[in-house]
Structure 1
Amino acid sequence: MGQRAAIYARVSTSDQSCERQVSELTAFAERGGYEVVAVFKETASGTKANRAERGKLIDLAQARKIDAILVSELSRWGRST
């Protein structure tokens, strides 16, 4: 059985799209044997700590409903890590 994963894709402005990130991460998950159980997309600044979709994803991880969080690059998760 593969591990359960959630995808997190973020863009900074409304004229940008998360679709490339989601597509690449979905392909990565398939190659790695991950079962994608949720996809979270957000338009928000990476410097803001209170992003709603990221909060939902953290809740999912803390409830141990996923084994991994997939992001295209660390800056998509946040700017001040």
Structure 2
Amino acid sequence: MGQRAAIYARVSTSDQSCERQVTELTAFAERGGYDVVGVFKEKASGASDNRVARNRVLDLAQARQIDAILVSELSRWGRSTQDLLDTLNRHCQVVCDG
């Protein structure tokens, strides 16, 4: 059994879809031996701190129910270096396919 991972996909506007990200991340997880325990999709600005799906993923990581968070690129997780550093300081492993 591989590491437990959550897939997190985000788009910024309602006319966009998360499906390409989810498809690519699912394939990445299979190649990497990750056991995907959840797929979290969100339509929200990356600049927003209050993203419900991202907060749920962070809660899973903090509860040690997942070992990794899979994102298609770091800009899908957050828009600033400080945001990324804050996340990493919460002891999460963020894995990027790209």
Q: TM-score, normalised by structure 2?
A: 0.81
Q: TM-score, normalised by structure 1?
A: 0.98
Q: Which residues of structure 1 form unaligned runs of 5+?
A: none
Pairing 1:55-70 to 2, within 5 Å after superposition: 55-70=55-70
Q: Which residues of structure 2 form unaligned runs of 5+?
A: 82-98
Q: Which runs of 4+ in 1 moved over 6 A?
A: none
Pairing 1:30-41 to 2, within 5 Å after superposition: 30-41=30-41
Give aligned-pair identity as a percent.
83
State the AA in 2 paired with 1:65.
Answer: Q
Q: Secondary structure at the match of 2:30?
A: helix
State the AA in 1 paired with 2:73.
Answer: E
Offset at 1:17?
A: 0.1
Matched residues in 1 for 2:13 and 2:76: separation?
Answer: 13
Equivalent in the alignment of 2:78: 78
Deviation track 1:25-70 (CA, whole Å, cap 9, x = no partner) reads 0000000000000000000000001101000000000000000000
Offset at 1:80?
A: 1.4
Q: What do you get for the CA RMSD once the two structures are aligned?
A: 0.5
Q: Secondary structure at the match of 2:54?
A: helix
Matched residues in 1 for 2:76 and 2:49: separation?
Answer: 12
Equivalent in the alignment of 2:23: 23
